[in-house]
Structure 1
Amino acid sequence: MLNICCMILIPIIDLFYFFLNKFTSSRLRPPLPPGPTPLPYIGCIISLLRNKPTFRWIHRMMDEMNTKILCIRFGNVHVISVTDPNIALEFLKDANGIFSSRPDTMSSYLASDGYLNTALAPMGDHWKKMKKILSREILSMARHKWLLNKRNEEYNNILKYIKNQCETNLGVTSGYVNVRLIVQQYSSNMARKLMFGSRYFGKRSQEDGPGVEEIEHADSLSTILSYVYSFCVTDYFPWLRWLTDFDGHEKIIRNALRTARKYQDPLIDERIQEWKDGVRTNQDDLLDVFINLKTPRLNVNEIKAQILDLTVATFDNVSNSIEWAMAEMINERRILDKAVHELDCIVGKDRLVEECDLQSLNYIKACVKEAFRLHPVAPFNLPHMTTADSIVAGYFIPKGSHVIVSRPGLGRNPLVWDDPLTFNPDRHMNGDKEVVLTDNNLHTFSFSTGRRGCPGVLLGSTIAIMLLARLLQGFTWELPPNETHVDLKEKLHELAKDKPLFALAKPRLPYNLYSTS
């Protein structure tokens, strides 16, 4: 009888203590960050579906609630949004690595071919391996110098392309050009040249511009960027992935990935075979470097995933920031004239600006940094996932939370920046101190910081600054006839400029400088 009573009482006592501990710990721990009241089980998923685009809804809620940190629950996942640099630093510079992993989402899984790349891989041995390869073999200072000639080819090619556009559209004196097409052409050309050693997948256009293949490839990269971590419903209810493409995101990103890989993967397979057959014996580009790594050696799927990762990263930030910089500077002639004056004083008009000049071009760099600040490429960073319960800024952050830092929330923060919505490069000038595009205080979110900080800071900074410098040195830029200003409206569903920037370009250097190939 006593044994029977014990068998009944022990589970009841255990259950009592379980709920007592849970109740006590919930009362003792700090509260969650402020946010909308979630429904049982589904959380705020209905609001997510009703309020598109999601990033503008999140920022609107933070403004209405007057909070620097917001918590929204979707299903069982807490999404933590941050607009304060000090709070963001607590997450991104976490010494214990609690906030350094990545969540498992549909888009990141597909874009990384099952987390085989670096940017989207969760913390673990694979991420450590890939990060080491990037820092030591791919994005090191030595490799940067090795690739200088390839970058120079693209700096020269973009000048020649714009000059050809001028001659085709209006004549030798000036031309009506699509600046967005120019900067995207430059960025995608640069990525292809560094990765594959070639500017084109197919046949170039008559003006040495992109062909059908290059345009399709660039469009696919833009789509991938837009849909990596796009607040997809199935990211919070994973079992739905097996039933339906609930909001259509999976079909879109699969199609974009299929297009990008259609052009890239056959080149990788062909190159690997060339090395096996002994047809190729000298390393010429980053693909060759990846193939010939010894310790550790990468398999073909890892190479393909990492090449796509780098191609996307090289493409996005540069094209977005320089189109915005040009738009803002054409609207504000004082800024444009000051940047051109710096180029004329330091470089002159008898030769082209080169990478070795960049250290002295502080105002040009300030213009690029200001574009990064005011017009970031994406509303949030790639999400970090917490691997343990923690406390940040006095709030409880549950294990498994997705932490997203607002790029415009940092860069347009009125508590950090005076007149934050005005494009003013002078704010970054500090006497003779050199301007750098990185910001470890996170007053701008150019290349992030901490363990997940972008390893391509040197490459990204260099090709962005060089593009703006070559555009301003090589041509004068004016508004088209009958236009009084550039419309600076953003797209609704992203932070890109709503309409492509069109401008009149006129060569301003000796004619022979544009013919360099």
Structure 2
Amino acid sequence: MTPVTFLLTNFAVASFVYLLVNNGHPHRLPPGPRPWPIVGNLPHLGPKPHQSLASLARSYGPLMHLRLGSVDVVVAASASVAAQFLKTNDANFVNRPPNSGAKYIAYNYQDLVFAPYGPRWRLLRKVSSLHLFSGKALDDFRHLRQEEVAVLVHALTSASNSLVNLGQLLNVCTTNALARVMLGKRVFGDGSGGVDPKADEFKDMVVEVMVLAGVFNLGDFVPALERFDLQGVATKMKNLHARFDSFLGNILEEHKMNSDGVKQQNDFLSKLISLKDDVDGEGGKLTDIEIKALLLNMFTAGTDTSSSTVEWGIAELIRHPKILAQAQQEIDSVVGRDRLVTELDLPNLPFLQAVVKETFRLHPSTPLSLPRMASQSCEINGYYIPKGSTLLVNVWAIARDPNVWAEPLEFRPDRFLPGGEKPNIDIKGNDFEVIPFGAGRRICAGMSLGLRMVQLLTATLVHAFDWGLPEGQIPEKLQMEEAYGLTLQRAVPLVLYPQPRLSSHVY
């Protein structure tokens, strides 16, 4: 049988199975658009699935059923529906569906993000929470984050007469801040503020992870086509994994060598190595692969998400000069102009916190939540959700719901202040109107760190600089187009002139 004949035969079989499965369903499924043969509703997703699904929800309602290939998919596009899945029925949706990203990039489900819910997942979560994300750990490493933000400020000041790519510099800062906590050293540059050429390559790798992980890979939904890798996604994932594995493997081996006969370091990786053969709890020992998988999670989920959110926030403030001036006035009144903002100042900056909340609302770093899977069939709002269904929560659409938010497309931080429409809302997974970190058992493990970093960076950039646009650009007309991936990138990088506004000795 020739390859072409084999492919056509598989298509024919897949079509027959598809028509057989979709020739009526004995239960009442949520509404949704009519699927195409074989590929189902995949063509409905378009280049920006979060936007396409939000548009479909306006026609079919906030709980939709799609058929992607042979896979049942349900989409939650309102706060009340999301709460049904992630709170009321959270225990039934704690696992991830099979997917190429977990298989080919995330060490075949041996990481924290994609590991099946159970003892191994609980072990990885416990180790990360205790040694990296606990209140004590965050406080212990506060000075490192502040030092890296000061390095960023110095780099921006040195470039005050020239245009800078803000997102690039933010990514270097967030990566080095995280690396110093995780590895005990910077991974880019020498701390002088210059951009290490390796930083561009690393950012490209992280962005490629997010882009590839955000692709709806045909092979994940039509198993008969998986082996053909028609979109080339699996091949790209394997190549990218090899690059990351080399990067992480070198770090791990270097750390092991340095730890022999040397006083134990206080970074996260040193703790993982020390725990490698002696981990308490039900999960047992950590393997080298699990350690590398954890590092992969932290470097991908903990760097670009924060830097891109801050980039969106600064872009919104530039588009709204009155809001920027109000934020600067608040920070000046609390901090003054003779020092930089510290994390200890953040609780005293309610308007700045509202700016950050509004940024997370309009520009969630993960517009479509990482998929979950129904372990058992269940009923949501009177509709049948089949066992094995994939759940997608449209975080982007929920936070722009006109039934919940007044002027939902407008950047209005005052909505989170006393007297505003949502003064007491929380963005840590308790209030489903805005859930940038997810909710339930699978909520983002690094939420507390991410929130601190975004607040500190936003406050510092607002306080320490005025921002000029390239000639010919008007603040109110600033480009705000989105580029879709697993994380929400700007289609056009934010390029600005930083103009120092504090006392000269601060810089």
Aligned pairs (5 A) from 1:36-435: 36-38=33-35, 42=38, 44=40, 47=43, 51-63=46-58, 65-94=59-88, 97-166=91-160, 170=161, 175-201=162-188, 208-241=193-226, 243-275=227-259, 277-278=260-261, 280-293=262-275, 294-296=278-280, 297-430=285-418
Aligned-residue offset at 1:117: 1.2
Q: Deviations over 1:56-105 (max 9, x none)?
A: 43333223x24111111123311111111111011111456111111110
Report which stretch shifted further, 378-387 or 295-304: 295-304
TM-score, structure 1 as length reference: 0.86
Distance 1:434 1:344, change over 3 A: farther
1:457 and 1:491 map into 2 onto residues whose CA distance is 23
Instruction: Give percent identity, aligned residues only.
Output: 30
Matched residue type, 2:270 = D
Q: Deviations over 1:247-278 (max 9, x none)?
A: 12122333333333332320111212333x32
Matched residue type, 1:47 = P
Aligned-residue offset at 1:239: 4.5
CA contact (8 A) 1:34 1:67 kept: yes
Aligned-residue offset at 1:157: 0.8
1:326 and 1:246 map into 2 onto residues whose CA distance is 39
Larger radius of gyration: 1
Structure 2 portions without partners, runs of 5+:
1-20
- Match of 2:32? 35
1:434 and 1:393 map into 2 onto residues whose CA distance is 27
Q: Secondary structure at the match of 1:98?
A: helix
CA contact (8 A) 2:335 2:345 kept: yes
Match among 427, 445, 448 for residue 458 of structure 1? 448
CA contact (8 A) 1:362 1:435 kept: no
Matched residue type, 1:403 = L
1:96 and 1:251 map into 2 onto residues whose CA distance is 34
- Match of 2:17? none
Matched residue type, 1:191 = L
Matched residue type, 2:194 = G
2:437 and 2:185 map into 1 onto residues whose CA distance is 27
1:238 and 1:131 map into 2 onto residues whose CA distance is 31
Matched residue type, 1:60 = S
| Equivalenced residues, count | 474
TM-score, structure 2 as length reference: 0.88
2:273 and 2:105 map into 1 onto residues whose CA distance is 21
Match among 481, 506, 509 for residue 502 of structure 2? 509
- Match of 1:490? 481
Q: Secondary structure at the match of 2:391?
A: strand
Aligned-residue offset at 1:378: 3.0
Q: Deviations over 1:27-48 (max 9, x none)?
A: 5x4x1111122356x2516636
CA contact (8 A) 2:102 2:109 kept: yes
1:146 and 1:122 map into 2 onto residues whose CA distance is 31
1:141 and 1:378 map into 2 onto residues whose CA distance is 24
Distance 1:127 1:46, change over 3 A: closer
Matched residue type, 1:57 = S
Aligned-residue offset at 1:492: 4.9
- Match of 1:5? none
Q: Secondary structure at the match of 1:70?
A: strand
Aligned-residue offset at 1:454: 1.4
1:332 and 1:75 map into 2 onto residues whose CA distance is 44
Distance 1:320 1:385, change over 3 A: same
Q: Deviations over 1:314-341 (max 9, x none)?
A: 1132112111111111111110000000
Matched residue type, 2:202 = H
